[in-house]
Chain A
Amino acid sequence: MPENSAGTMTPRRPAGTLYRGREGMWSWVLHRITGVAIFFFLLVHILDTAMVRVAPEAYNAVISTYQNPIMGLGEVALVGAIAFHAFNGIRIILIDLWSKGAKYQRQMFWIVIGVWVVTMLAFTPRHLINVFSHLPGAGQ
């Protein structure tokens, strides 16, 4: 075991109850990353929607950029970020307010992942069919 300058022994691995590593930390990391990503999308999304106040042509031009296949894949990532942030947010509320929340935070993390997978299985095929089946020349 490494010894620090104060001469006390520091365990190589954090003790069992420490909220570091594993599900607790990674859910926190993902919550931050998805939150920042959603925030910046929100800024852009308000501005692009504001184009309806400029002209129908201006709005249709900007929204058509969201309809190309590359952006279609980006929207899957966006919805994935939103769904994780939403479900993990519920987990955070339960950790704070439910008397057994902290005890079951790890199990709740895997429930969040499970519900997220189900949500994405429902959303992704539907969205990608919408994006890819209406391409010019896709035989509509």
Chain B
Amino acid sequence: MATTIETPRAPHSVRRNRGVNWEKWGWIYMRASGVVLLILIFGHLFVNLMVGDGIKAIDFAFVGGKWSDPFWQVWDTLMLWLALIHGSNGMRTIVNDYSTRPLVRKILLGAIAVSAVTLITLGTLVVFTFDPCPAGSPADLLPSFCPVNQ
């Protein structure tokens, strides 16, 4: 086997670990999701706080009206997933920056992961199993399209 002698001062090439470069994808995710979230959240704030009577108009009937439209179901679900993963990854960065004891770091990262998975699951289930016209509820609290209000 012939030995090749490298050129003097040839750049030392470090062999990267094989496998997915998660930090790189995290970096890309923060930027890509950030741009989408800017549109989703500004739209959410505009429709819920600026149009009509703003926050004063928000009640069960308001949410019922929004989520009987697949457009807002998809909008809010997308917002939920993108925002919670974006926020959790940001919190992970901060924990990595400031935690000095490995055990504390592990506990905090675990807490972030558990709360993210729990809330994404909860939120997604709420959006898609939601009933805008629950039986037995007072008619004046329900959206106008519910059978009790017809």
Give the A-B pair count, Cβ closer than 8 A: 111
Is B55 within 8 A of A49, CB to CB? Answer: no
Partner of B59, one of A38, A46, A63: A63
Given A46-B80, A53-B130, A93-B34: A59 in contact with B63 (beta carbons within 8 A):
yes
Instruction: Give the interface segment out of B2-10, B11-19, B35-43, B102-110.
Output: B35-43
Given A67-B56, A130-B55: A55 in contact with B134 (beta carbons within 8 A):
yes
Chain A minimum-CB-distance residue to B39: A86
Count of chain A residues with Cβ under 8 Å from any Cβ of B? Answer: 38
Whole-angstrom CA separation of A67 from B54 in the bound complex: 10
Whole-angstrom CA separation of A134 from B83 in the bound complex: 31
Is B138 within 8 A of A56, CB to CB? Answer: yes
How close is A98's CB to chain B, nearest CB, in angstroms?
A: 12
24 contacts between A and B (CB under 8 A): A36-B91, A39-B87, A39-B91, A49-B123, A52-B67, A52-B126, A53-B130, A55-B134, A56-B60, A56-B134, A56-B141, A56-B142, A63-B58, A79-B45, A86-B41, A89-B31, A93-B34, A126-B49, A126-B50, A127-B50, A130-B49, A131-B55, A131-B56, A134-B53
8 closest Cβ pairs, A-B complex? A130-B54, A56-B60, A39-B87, A56-B141, A134-B56, A89-B34, A86-B38, A59-B60
